[in-house]
Amino acid sequence: MSENSSSRAVLEGPDIHRALTRIAHEILERTKGASDVILLGIPTRGATLAHRIGERLEQVEDVKVPVGSLDITMYRDDLRTKPARALGHTELPADGIDDKLIVLVDDVLFSGRTIRAALDALNDLGRPRAVQLAVLVDRGHRELPIRADYVGKNLPTAKSEKVKVFLAETDGRDAVELIK
């Protein structure tokens, strides 16, 4: 980190825990029991969050919701700005996604371009009944007409700032930091 940048924690571990629990409750409420829901996380941290939300759904209402991951690398619109990237892991439930309610899960919603790519990827994998979006942090500055259905925290940011999510599974601790 350079000398004149500073980071501030905007969510700590317990805040993230509560936000995910609330999202789980909202999913159950909005989907009337989540009976045909599939949670698809966008690697890396979205996939981790999808698993956590899946566990919460099971704790709250004892529903077992299929959880998978959806890599969107091959559908990105900025592939040609950098050398080819390594691919993430895509894992879909064995029964496929046709006629299911897909809840996409990501850590930060920013320009909306990742979600646009995810919608394209889904289109090649099947025809879900509907697609919804859950994010831990919505930091604004959308560049496409996309919005989230479930938001852990709305975080007003300047476009020059960075939002970094840390999760215990990949980073050893839970936190969301705003880096100026």
Partner 1 sequence: MNKHLISAADLSKDDALLILDTAEELARVSERSIKKLPTLRGRTVVNLFFEDSTRTRISFEAAAKRLSADVINFSAKGSSVSKGESLKDTALTLEAMGADAVVMRHGASGAPYRLANWIRGSVVNAGDGTHEHPTQALLDAFTMRRHLKNLEGRKITIVGDVLHSRVARSNVLLLSTLGADVTLVAPPTLLPVSVGTWPCDVSYDLDAVLPKSDVIMMLRVQKERMNAAYFPSEREYSRRYGLDRDRFAKLPDDAIVMHPGPMNRGMEIAAEVADSARSTIVEQVANGVTTRMAVLYLLLGGEI
Residues of this chain that bind partner 1 (CB under 8 A): 71, 74-75, 79-90, 120, 124-125
The answer to whether residues 136 and 107 touch, using CB atoms and an 8 Å cutoff, is yes
Least CB distance from residue 12 to partner 1, whole Å?
Answer: 34
DSSP secondary structure code for residue 81 in this structure: G
Q: Which residue has the tokens 């759904």?
A: 57
Least CB distance from residue 118 to partner 1, whole Å?
Answer: 13
* Rounded Cα gap, residues 22 and 151, in angstroms: 9
* Of residues 33 and 96, the one with the C-beta less far from partner 1: 96
* Rounded Cα gap, residues 46 and 13, in angstroms: 16
Could you tell me the two tokens for 25? 């409750």
* Of residues 75 and 150, the one with the C-beta less far from partner 1: 75
Least CB distance from residue 123 to partner 1, whole Å?
Answer: 8
* Of residues 4 and 81, the one with the C-beta less far from partner 1: 81
Could you tell me the two tokens for 99? 């006629």
Could you tell me the two tokens for 178? 């705003």
Least CB distance from residue 117 to partner 1, whole Å?
Answer: 10
* In 31-160, alpha helices (H): 45-61, 113-125
* Of residues 60 and 125, the one with the C-beta less far from partner 1: 125
